[in-house]
Chain A
Amino acid sequence: MSVVSGPPAIELRGLARHFGERTALRDVSLTVAAGATLAVLGRNGAGKTTLLRILASLLRPHGGEVHLFGEPLPARAHVVRGQLGLLGHEPLLYRDLTGRENLQYHARLHRIEPERVEEVLQAVQMERRASDPVRLLSRAVLHRPRLLLLDEPRANLDPAASELIEPLIGRASGATRVLTSHDPRAALAEADMVLALKDGRPAFVGAPDGFGADRLAELYA
């Protein structure tokens, strides 16, 4: 883990969120240092995606406090928004635009130099197919985010593609990462810290060493 000095990348204090009567998250508190990787584990509906969307400033918390790089959300979300990269279940791309056009659009929105588009296309070996309409292409790393929110980032990728994007979203990216995965063992192997969620509540927060096979089995039971 390459920890950077300065305020923690993520600080949660008693975070809560509900959808109508249903509680999606409750009493979530943790601190993630800049440059560290947090693995968020839990069954479907445990609150993983909700947590990521709150961190991405796409959902408002209904209770508690959220600070990203020392800035409170949602009050100062506009300050940190350009430093976040969300790679979720949806690619957030226009199907009727080509890969290059999509990236150019996002580059303009993020005020990124146009050369970066070609750089990313090269990195994922998509230069030759950059004029095709796209279904899947990562625009989450285009603006070199400091915080990567990765919601099962390898779910739709074969092993070769997964290896290809590793420098962009893996530890080598240098970004603080929040990672959810359907493969908890792989997520644990990447993590500096684990948040296990059960029905929206933290069942475990701490280093991966303390999260043994028995806890894992219990979480997914």
Chain B
Amino acid sequence: MKTAMIVLRKDLRLELRTWETVPAMVLFALVTFVIFHFGLNRATIDGQLAAGVLVVTLLFAALLGVNRLFVAEREQGGFDAFLLAPVDRTALLVAKASALFLFLVVLEVIAVPAFGLFLLGPPLGHALPGLILLLALANLGLSVIGTFVSAIAIHTRARDLIGPMLGLPLLVPALIATARAAGPLLAATHASSAPPGKWLLILALYDVVFGLIAYAVFDFLLED
């Protein structure tokens, strides 16, 4: 855990110094909302449509972060330097997944209110507590799968393609669960202030299963 914190602190310092990832993710999400606004030709949306727009936008914005997760390690030799250190290699998975999780939180702190302000019909305040819980679970899955996929893609020549090509199919169950759970929260009728437990459970199970898989095989991804 201590090693993961060392790597995480380094990653956050690099991001704060270069601003290469988070601003791109935020800008992408905001532009996508504008595109949906004009593409759907509707002033406001709600319910399942709103949930789909929000979740898909966040997912694609997250992929920008996923693609950049290991770039500094690859281009500047961080992988070799880390592998030469006498530390548990899965600390890199924990650190990178935590960094991605934090990037997603920053993205959502900006993008979700913007979505509520410009695109969502019903007021966001009613749905917010449930949405925070839901997005926290979704972020967990995105972070673990994103780190896992990024670690595979970074060793390939076409890493910008491989990341989404591997990541999107793996993330489809999480996307479905998050969008279905968010639908009632964003309904105009305020049908519910809590996301449906079934979808939350599926999302939580998905997080646990992929967390364990990533933990079990991550070490081998770092081998030559």
The chain A residues found within 8 Å of chain B, CB to CB, are: 56-60, 78, 81-82, 84, 86, 88, 90-97, 101, 105-106, 108-111, 139
Contacts and interface: CB of A to CB of B under 8 A. Distances in A.
Interface of B: 3, 6-7, 10, 13-14, 17-18, 72, 76-78, 80-87, 223-224
Contacts of B223: 60
18 contacts: A56-B80, A58-B83, A58-B84, A60-B224, A86-B84, A90-B76, A92-B76, A92-B80, A94-B14, A94-B72, A94-B78, A95-B76, A97-B10, A97-B14, A97-B17, A106-B81, A108-B6, A109-B7
B6 A56 contact: no
Enumerate the 10 nearest inter-chain pairs by beta-carbon distance, A residue then B residue, closest first: A82-B86, A92-B77, A109-B85, A92-B81, A90-B77, A108-B6, A81-B86, A59-B224, A96-B17, A105-B10
A60 B220 CA distance: 12
B6 A94 contact: no
Residue with the highest number of chain A CB atoms closer than 10 Å, among B13, B14, B17, B84: B84
Contacts of A86: 80, 84
Given A60-B223, A81-B85, A110-B86, A105 B6 contact: yes
A92 B78 CA distance: 6
Contacts of A96: 14, 17-18, 72
Contacts of B84: 56-58, 81, 84, 86, 92
Contacts of A88: 80
Contacts of A59: 224
Contacts of B17: 96-97
B52 to A, nearest CB: 37
A59 to B, nearest CB: 5
B224 A93 contact: no
B175 to A, nearest CB: 33
A96 B80 CA distance: 17
Contact of A93 (B6, B77, B83, B87): B77
Contacts of B81: 92-93, 106, 109, 139
B96 to A, nearest CB: 15
B195 to A, nearest CB: 39
B14 A90 contact: no
Nearest to A94: B76
B76 A93 contact: yes
B77 A91 contact: yes
Contacts of B85: 81-82, 106, 109-110
Contacts of A105: 6, 10
Contacts of A90: 76-77, 80
A75 B71 CA distance: 29
B78 A78 contact: no
Contacts of B3: 109
A60 B222 CA distance: 12
A109 B77 CA distance: 15
Contact of B87 (A58, A97, A109, A139): A109
Contacts of B77: 90-93
Nearest to B77: A92
